[in-house]
Amino acid sequence: MDVLAQTLPFFALIGLGYGAGRVGMFGAAATAALTSFVFYFALSALLFRFTAGLDLSQVLSVRFLLAYFCGTLAVYLLATVVGVVRGRGMGETAVEAQCAVIGNIGFLGIPMLGTLMGEAAVGPILQMITVDLILFGSVIVVLITLDRGRGDVAELARGVGVGLARNPMIVSIALGLVWSATSLPIPGPADRFLEILGAAATPGALFAIGASLAGKSAERLSVAGWLSFCKLVLHPAAVGTMAFLVFAVDPVAAGVMVAAAALPVAGNVFILAQSYGVAPQRASAAILVSTALSVVTVTVILALLV
């Protein structure tokens, strides 16, 4: 109950956004505008300020990266096998596998875990974001493109590279690390500017999540239930096994990894599915169901970790 009291305000902000969307006070255009503000400005400022104050040694841990990658890959492959057995094509299977392992670390994990678990959560979260965006974010683009018969290697590489270069989270993390390498403090006015702008990330991101859920449907609940089970239960269990038992990751960092892996399906999976026209309803349902269930599952996992 103590942990629930701490997590509930974050989910209440999501609920507030959902309610505003459902009653028409916050339509699709307003939600898109708020999401763009958070994604390109507030969250980028927050990430840059975090990384600019870190040593690279705090951000980079080979054991941590291997544990997270191996645990995530295991669930990704399981979801892929299930998709193939069900007769889904390569593109649809890629979307389902993405739903099974890509959590809402950017919009939910950074605000909530950064607040509840402290500064020790920052380095692990940044590493997980990097793996999700660079590795698994590239895989889904490649698989969908190959499924459509566009297998030109140069074109694929260019598309993936351009997508990464345009992602503000990747850019802000990279720029923050570059600044960190100089060992220079951020000038006072600039630091205050980033602090004020970054402070908008938490309420803005959570409200935007809720508002975006208001327009999503819960069709194909059996598939959405399976993908939510993968994301909320199997994914944290797999990365926890790798972190604690196989790679002996630092217990604090391992705890952050498990908590972040327990987060619901990320909204960018739906954006990718919709932009490519591949199973967007399935991704939408998985996001809606996993977010609703995560009120309980994330709270339980955090309670076990604490």
Q: Would you say residue 58 has pLDDT above 70?
A: no
Q: Rounded to whole angstroms, how far apart are CA atoms 211 and 216?
A: 10
Which backbone phi and psi does 181 adopt, to 5 degrees?
-65, -25
Residue 33: its pLDDT value, please? 92
pLDDT of residue 219: 60
276 CB neighbour count, 10 Å cutoff? 18
Model confidence at 140, pLDDT cuts 50, 70, 90, reads confident
Task: Please state, in angstroms and rounded to a whole number, the distance separating the CA atoms of residues 144 and 140.
Answer: 6
Nearest CA to 132 among 159, 161, 169, 162? 169
Average pLDDT over the chain, rounded to an integer: 88
Please report, as a single letter, which amino acid is at residue 234.
L
Percent of the chain residues topping a pLDDT of 70: 94
The whole-number pLDDT of residue 64 equals: 96
The pLDDT score that the predictor gives to residue 146 is 78
**pTM value?**
0.85
Q: Which amino acid is at 193?
A: F
In Å, what is the CA distance from 284 to each residue of 33, 67, 268, 287? 19, 29, 10, 5
**What pLDDT is recorded for position 274?**
78
| pLDDT of 18 | 92
pLDDT value of position 121? 86
Q: How far is CA 113 from the centre of its chain?
A: 12
**Size of the chain, expressed as the number of residues it contains:** 306
Predicted pLDDT of residue 107? 81
What is residue 81's predicted lDDT score, i.e. its pLDDT? Answer: 96
- What is the C-alpha separation between 249 and 56, in angstroms, rounded? 17
pLDDT band at 16 (very low <50, low <70, confident <90, very high): very high
Pure H helices in the chain: 2-22, 28-37, 43-52, 56-59, 62-85, 90-101, 110-117, 122-130, 137-147, 153-165, 168-181, 188-199, 201-213, 221-229, 235-240, 251-261, 267-276, 280-305
More confident residue, 163 or 294: 294
Instruction: List, as one string, the DSSP characters of 233-250.
Output: IIHHHHHHIIIIIIS---
Q: Look at residue 100 and give its three-state secondary structure.
A: helix
- The number of beta carbons lying within 10 Å of the beta carbon of residue 255 is 24
- Per-residue pLDDT at 118: 80
- CB-CB neighbours of 280 under 10 Å: 19
Look up residue 150 and give its two tokens: 């566009």
The residues near 257 (Cβ < 8 Å, ≥ 6 apart) are 64, 67, 68, 124, 128, 239, 240, 243, 249
Give yes or no for residue 151 having a pLDDT over 60: no
CATH numbers and ranges of domains, the chain: 2-305 (1.20.1530.20)
φ, ψ for residue 103 (rounded to 5)?
-95, 170
pLDDT band at 293 (very low <50, low <70, confident <90, very high): very high
Give me the pLDDT at residue 156, please. 67
- pLDDT tens by residue, 72-106: 999 999 999 999 999 988 889 999 999 999 999 98
Cβ-in-10-Å burial (0-12, 13-18, 19+) of 59 comes to: buried
pLDDT, tens only, 216-263: 766 667 899 999 999 999 999 999 999 999 999 999 999 999 999 999
Encode pLDDT of 172-194 as tens digits: 988 998 898 888 899 999 999 99
Residue 148, number of CB atoms within 10 A of its CB: 14
